[in-house]
Structure 1
Amino acid sequence: MNGRPAPAVLPPSLRVWLGPIAALAALVVVVLGVLYADDSKPGMVDARISAAVDGVGPPWRYVALALDFLGEPGGAVMLVVAMLAGCLLLRRPRAAVFTVAGVGMTVGTATLLKHLVGRTIHGDGNLSYPSGHTAFFTALALIVALLATGRLGLGRPAGTSLVLAAALVAGAAMGWAQVALGAHYPTDVLGGCCTALAVVPATAWLVDRMADRPALADRMADRLADAGRRERR
């Protein structure tokens, strides 16, 4: 018989709730994308929030710049490598694969949506919807929360609260930085956060499905072998 199978990256206690949440997040992404397709101006909500947040001075501007760096290639690679190192030290190869796949799928989806929606900011052709920085940072927080939920054995209420809180805090922090620096509209930020909420749970489910197939095949082979040995006795 084979050893104990690797823990699922999508905790069973959260599967029922994360499905509808991911679907709702995907709907928000689509609706905002349709509303602001090929647009280059802020909406009414964008204008009000940006007026209160945009152009912050020191020391908060330094905080915003530090958060922004974490969404840039250099900072993002640093965070992902740290996550991978933690997964490998804990002997969680499936979690390491999930980290790479979750981040990659989220950033890839956000990039594709930018070109499909075509929303720009500052009139210089810079595609803005959804915010890739916010999508990345929210995705990484969701991955950490899902892995922590599984490792700690949290039930549905506690696990769901942890996952949603991680998404909210990470999305709000990076989103504030992007709006404060004038890099994105608030609705771009919301779209980025919801992109992560839609993509990460789906990626977790897919990673589990692909990882469990060999284990299932091995178990079936073991059972067939045991049945054959019993018949020969």
Structure 2
Amino acid sequence: MARGVRRVSVLAGLVVVLLGVVYAGHSRPGAVDRWLVDPTVDSVRGPWRRVALALDFLGEPGGSVGLVLVAVLACLVLRWVRGAVFTVVGVGLTVVVATVLKHLVGRTIHGDGNLSYPSGHTAFFTALALVVALPATGLLGLGRTAGAWCVAVAALAAGGAMGWAQVALGAHYPTDVLGGWCTALAVVPASGLLVDRVAGTRWRKAR
């Protein structure tokens, strides 16, 4: 794992912990949330609402399992076992960590007990983008700079899209979305390292 990726992973983890400490036990939006948008209102209408709902579905159990299965099957068709394992471990650990953090932090939204920090939808969607983008940079033979840009764009696009949907639908505060995004940034690279260490060596695409 590249040194730059490790640094981003550690920094993201620190952000997750910091936000978790700041908003632990809260049931109202923070100052940053209120400055960005009214996070308690379902604010999207018309065709954009359908887009937001479609994105939201992709983060629900049915949609998320379907996306993971497609990614795993694609890896297996390409006879790339490590990619399939990395997809399952990277996404799975991210979802588990996000779920555990929700219960530890105890932040809620709408006052009805819905745990909101970090956003599991955002964590999942970002993690899926990362497990595709990180190994793709190596398979495509991209250099360090081009590879870094590829991973950054994938993470920003996925996290930004799902984060927008969650805030627009009133399901999460903006800081929940940031926490979910950083959770994926922290967990996925560590998952790749774990997969490689358990395998005993770096797996290569089967021929």
1:97 equivalent to 2:85? Answer: yes
> Please, which runs of 5 or more residues in structure 1 have no aligned partner?
1-9, 216-233
Q: Deviations over 1:109-144 (max 9, x none)?
A: 000000110000000011000000000000000111
What is the TM-score with the length of structure 2 in the denominator? Answer: 0.94
Q: Which amino acid aligns with 2:68?
A: V
Cα distance in 1 for partners of 2:199, 2:46 equals 48
Deviation at residue 147 of structure 1 after TM alignment: 2.0
Cα root mean square deviation, aligned = 1.5
- Kindly report structure 1 stretches of 4+ aligned residues shifted beyond 2 Å: 48-54, 212-215
- Find the counterpart in structure 1 of residue 9 from structure 2: 22
CA contact (8 A) 2:86 2:192 kept: yes
Q: 1:160 to 1:213 in 2, by over 3 A?
A: closer
Cα distance in 2 for partners of 1:122, 1:159 equals 40
Deviation at residue 162 of structure 1 after TM alignment: 0.9
Cα distance in 2 for partners of 1:65, 1:157 equals 35
> Please, which runs of 5 or more residues in structure 2 have no aligned partner?
none
Deviation at residue 32 of structure 1 after TM alignment: 0.3
CA contact (8 A) 1:68 1:177 kept: yes
| Residue pairs, 1:88-127, within 5 angstroms | 88-127=76-115
| Residue pairs, 1:1-20, within 5 angstroms | 10=1, 15-20=2-7
Q: Which amino acid aligns with 2:110?
A: H
- Find the counterpart in structure 2 of residue 212 from structure 1: 200
CA contact (8 A) 1:137 1:171 kept: yes
Query: Which is higher, the Rg of structure 1 or of structure 2?
Result: 1
1:198 equivalent to 2:186? Answer: yes
**From 31, 34, 37, the counterpart of 2:24:** 37
Greater mean deviation of Cα atoms: 100-109 or 205-214: 205-214
| Residue pairs, 1:56-205, within 5 angstroms | 56-205=44-193
CA contact (8 A) 2:118 2:176 kept: yes
Q: Which amino acid aligns with 1:202?
A: A
Deviation at residue 20 of structure 1 after TM alignment: 0.5
CA contact (8 A) 1:21 1:198 kept: yes
CA contact (8 A) 1:50 1:180 kept: no
Greater mean deviation of Cα atoms: 153-162 or 132-141: 153-162
- Find the counterpart in structure 2 of residue 4 from structure 1: none
